Structure 1
Amino acid sequence: MPKISEKGHSMPESPIRKLVPFAEEAVRKGRKIYQLNIGQPDIKTPQVALDAVKNNNIEVLAYSHSAGFEDYRKKLAEYYRQKDIPVDSNNIIITTGGSEALLFAMGTIADAGDEIIIPEPFYANYNGFATASGVKIVPVESTIETNFALPPIQEFEKLITPKTKAILICNPGNPTGYLYTKEEIQQLSAMVLKHDIFLVADEVYREFTYDGAEHHSIMSLPELKEHAIMIDSVSKRYSMCGARIGCLVSSNKEVMQTAMKFAQARLSPPTFEQIASEAALQTPQSYFDEVIEEYTSRRNILVNGLEAIEGVRVATPKGAFYCIAELPVENADDFARWLLEEFQHNNETVMVAPAAGFYSTPNTGLNQVRIAYVLKKEDLERAVEILKFALKEYNK
């Protein structure tokens, strides 16, 4: 029998999606599942985006430019300039989701065996993208004790080698919800300039910040003009996860020229989704104001509810819509599976994402889970109640 590649064998499973078969079986048993495991917002997609597709009269569904439609890139650049990100359309390549933008970035800046330093826990698919690109992730640990703040710069310095090509951050963070301060971004800036490496920032949750906190983009620092690469997406901002439209943004001309070759190799991003994404730029600020108010309320319900459960510790997020909770269990993976296979409370249960998959350091985060607060408030309250009963029963 022909053999599967070593790369295929080493490709990690998604900690977010690997429990889906157990959830499907629970549903077949008639159980209701509160899905806290995946960042699929229930917020309505802006109607202007849906109407742009519904009312379109395209007769030939043709390729777009490999970088994406120019009109969309121009309007997107205008949006960024309003966010203190001084770019034009030539600094943007439209991609099939932020995922493809990350793959393009890794392919552009790193060869097989090169290293990228990432604060952990981090978005689990970074492991997959790195494996697909032949890149080695070098983790630097952030901790729940500090609310997952940026680790000390000295810890990064210890890990930098001749093979280090970049620092990668997610800001605000998935899975932690941590929002980097201006001072932390400046510290990272000074370090990448010192070592002449790239700073890559996944900023797809830019709009989601709480308690008056402000998002600080790496693209707003003029000194990083040649070193900054930003990853973005419409998925969360406009509740358009299924559109699969993202972008890679950089003022470094060589980066853009190289990334363009990857974009040409996959031909072009999808047409109707670009049309919807361009229209979504017309979404009024009131939409985001309402969304932030809703997510702030949901966050408070979740964090307060978790903190009231004996033995649970939770980091309070300042952005995105996730948090990491430390549970009084030895193995959150086993607990998450047990929730779906064996537990029910009034024929209901919850689904969480074991956090070990958000680390690349072995045997780390084993008693942690990531929870996405993307359910309506009454469902979150019920989910926390179920979790409380579940922990009590599991630990008997």
Structure 2
Amino acid sequence: MRRFEWRFLKLKGKLVTINWVRDEIKDLNKVEHGGEIWRYRGNREILDFSSNVNPLGVSSKVLKVLRKSLHLIKFLPDNNSFSVREAAARYLGKPVKPSNIIVGNGSTELIHLFTQTFVKRGEECLIPVPTFSEYEVAVKKTGGKPCFLKLKTSTNFTLKIDEILRCLKPKKTKAIFLCNPNNPTSQTFSREELVKLVDEALNTNIIVFLDESYIEFSDENSLANLVNKYPNLFVLRSLTKIFGLMGLRIGYGVASEKLVKFMFKAKIAWNVNVLAQVAAITAFKDRDHLKKAKNIVDKERKFLFKELGKIRGFHVLPAKANFFLIKIKNLGFDSSSLKNRLLKHGILVRDCSSIRGLNNYYIRVSIKKHWENKRLLEALTSVVGIHS
């Protein structure tokens, strides 16, 4: 023990030269996300437009069951989240069964669990960018090699399936990561396009990781009901966005029974807390809450697209989900500066400068209730102004 302490003191300040840390971890860059409300809240009210969540928040039915379930904290949660899987299967409908579902501590845990289970060192994973940053991080942590397909600003970051197919390398590409609707661009693929991709990928033994965390906010149809037909398909779903359970952290994945069994082998024990499981079961049943939220998003999307287009220097990309990506290059200052100026008005937006494939001239704003959206527009008018 004394010998170790002497060595530690002697090498203090040079510990990076000791090979304690895996290279995959050493080389990771810090990932930034939206939802930094705790950093800025303090003693003032902040409207958070940086986090893409149900504008109605948590349903009253979920809050009620949570209050009644606090006594369950003294128990270990169900390690397999079986009741949640049953509720999710009923929510998705046949042919999905509980055995097709795995539950995670937020959908992000399942992204990392997927790569830990299936991506080997040196295997390539295709990731169109810009998209959610955690795909890249998860691939790198396992020693995999992310290969990026950069989308074009000239096409508003839309992507054709044929472009993806041309980038696939048989025997080299292990997985494709797609987000539908895509975060942060709010663009979508049709079901027909995605089925074509999954089918072609199956012929070359490539897994398709399809993130549908925002699917309920769009008009697109899920591919979850195809997981038994396509053994190479993994569909990620979120309960935090559409059901407003951001702070409880719970999501789920849908795949063939065989894929799910392997992921269960890699999953840590008791990964989803008891209150998150209780909330999820109730949330799945509250279809009225989802319908109200979807109606608000549909209505406010049209309102915001029109009004945001009036802001000086803004190029607003058409949105298919519950958020907008906005290019501000003609504004006169960058995304970090705009974010800080809006914070003085009690508004938090997502600075997209840290997202691969974008730069410091993009922001993302979520769609909220009408009065909140009007507050955003008032703040932007004050800070930026409108077209003359």
Shorter-chain TM-score range:
0.7 to 0.9
Q: Aligned partners of 1:60 and 1:289: how far apart in 2?
A: 31
- Relative distance call for 1:344 and 1:330 in structure 2 (3 A) is closer
Bigger RCO (CA 8 Å, 6+ sep): 1
For 1:185-209, what per-residue CA distance to the aligned partner results, in whole angstroms no more than 9, with x for missing partners?
Answer: 1231232123211111111222212
Tell me the equivalent position of 1:227: 232
SS of structure 1 residue aligned to 2:148? strand
> Is the Cα–Cα contact under 8 Å of residues 150 and 184 in structure 1 kept in the other structure?
no
Pick aligned residue for 2:67 from 54, 68, 74 = 54
Larger Rg: 2
Pick aligned residue for 2:221 from 208, 216, 224 = 216
Tell me the equivalent position of 1:138: 147
Tell me the equivalent position of 1:71: 83
Kindly indicate whether residue 279 of structure 2 is the aligned counterpart of residue 276 of structure 1.
yes
- Relative distance call for 1:76 and 1:152 in structure 2 (3 A) is closer
Pick aligned residue for 1:377 from 351, 370, 381 = 370
> Is the Cα–Cα contact under 8 Å of residues 201 and 230 in structure 1 kept in the other structure?
yes
Segments of 5+ residues of structure 1 without an aligned counterpart are: none
- Relative distance call for 1:336 and 1:252 in structure 2 (3 A) is same
Pick aligned residue for 1:86 from 90, 95, 120 = 95
Segments of 5+ residues of structure 2 without an aligned counterpart are: 1-11
- Relative distance call for 1:275 and 1:59 in structure 2 (3 A) is closer
- Return the letter of the residue paired with 2:34: I
- Relative distance call for 1:36 and 1:329 in structure 2 (3 A) is farther
Taking the TM superposition and a 5 Å limit, the aligned residue runs for 1:294-373 are 294-319=296-321, 321-329=322-330, 335-339=334-338, 341=340, 343=341, 348=345, 350-359=347-356, 361=357, 364-373=358-367
Give the TM-score normalised by the residue count of structure 1.
Answer: 0.82
- Residue identity (%): 21
TM-fit CA distance, 1:330: 8.5
TM-fit CA distance, 1:295: 1.1
TM-fit CA distance, 1:171: 1.5
Give the TM-score normalised by the residue count of structure 2.
Answer: 0.83
For 1:86-132, what per-residue CA distance to the aligned partner results, in whole angstroms no more than 9, with x for missing partners?
Answer: 22111112211111111111112101232221222111333333333
Q: Aligned partners of 1:357 and 1:60: how far apart in 2?
A: 37
Q: Aligned partners of 1:17 and 1:289: how far apart in 2?
A: 24
- Relative distance call for 1:180 and 1:10 in structure 2 (3 A) is same
- Relative distance call for 1:15 and 1:50 in structure 2 (3 A) is closer
Q: Aligned partners of 2:290 and 2:105: how far apart in 1?
A: 24
Alignment: residue pair count: 368
Structural RMSD (CA): 3.0
> Is the Cα–Cα contact under 8 Å of residues 66 and 260 in structure 1 kept in the other structure?
no
Tell me the equivalent position of 2:193: 184
Q: Aligned partners of 1:239 and 1:18: how far apart in 2?
A: 16
Kindly indicate whether residue 207 of structure 2 is the aligned counterpart of residue 202 of structure 1.
no
> Is the Cα–Cα contact under 8 Å of residues 198 and 229 in structure 1 kept in the other structure?
yes
Tell me the equivalent position of 2:249: 244
Kindly indicate whether residue 133 of structure 2 is the aligned counterpart of residue 115 of structure 1.
no
- Return the letter of the residue paired with 1:47: S
Tell me the equivalent position of 2:34: 16
